Amino acid sequence: MVTNTISRLIENPHNCPVTRAMSIIGGKWKPIILNCIGEKSLRFGKLRQYIPAISNKVLSNELKELEQFGLIERIEYKELPPRVEYHLTQAGRSLLPILHEIARWGKTELAIEIIEKAS
């Protein structure tokens, strides 16, 4: 069973949009996965190469959730050995501006320094 990410959802009387967005794309791996896929179409194994620190199980779960949210599409080719490709849906592509901003900030000296100091 896939754990329901929306359990992270917070009842907020102000109905905060940031809360809503983070309930969907927050979490340790989702932005990284979405950013890896980007405009491309990626196989499961390729994602594992790009994000070696993620385990089979967790990657599989995260992909399922993203698919349930309609942010990515999973295409299974009936071949042997099996081939499955993931790509962003139109909804998923609407997240690209967020991902670009995050990536931009993550490239700054500031971000690099914060990580260094904290390590």
Which parts of this chain interact with DNA (CB under 7 A)? 3-5, 7-8, 27-29, 43-46, 53-58, 60-61, 63-64, 74, 80-84
Contact code string over 38-57 relative to a copy of itself, x by CB under 8 A: ------------xxxx----
* Tokens at 105, concatenated: 């900030």
Find out whether 87 and 40 touch, Cβ atoms under 8 Å.
yes
| Alpha-carbon Rg for the chain in angstroms | 16
Contact code string over 71-90 relative to a copy of itself, x by CB under 8 A: --------------------
Helix axes 96-106, 30-37, angle to 10 degrees: 100
Listed residue (2, 61, 68, 75) closest to 28, CA to CA: 61
Q: What is the DSSP letter of 29?
A: S
| Interaction of residue 59 with a copy of itself, rule CB under 8 A | no
List interacting residues with a copy of itself (CB under 8 A). Answer: 4-6, 8-14, 16-24, 26-28, 31-32, 35, 50-53, 68-70, 91, 94-95, 97-99, 101-108, 110-112, 114-115, 118-119
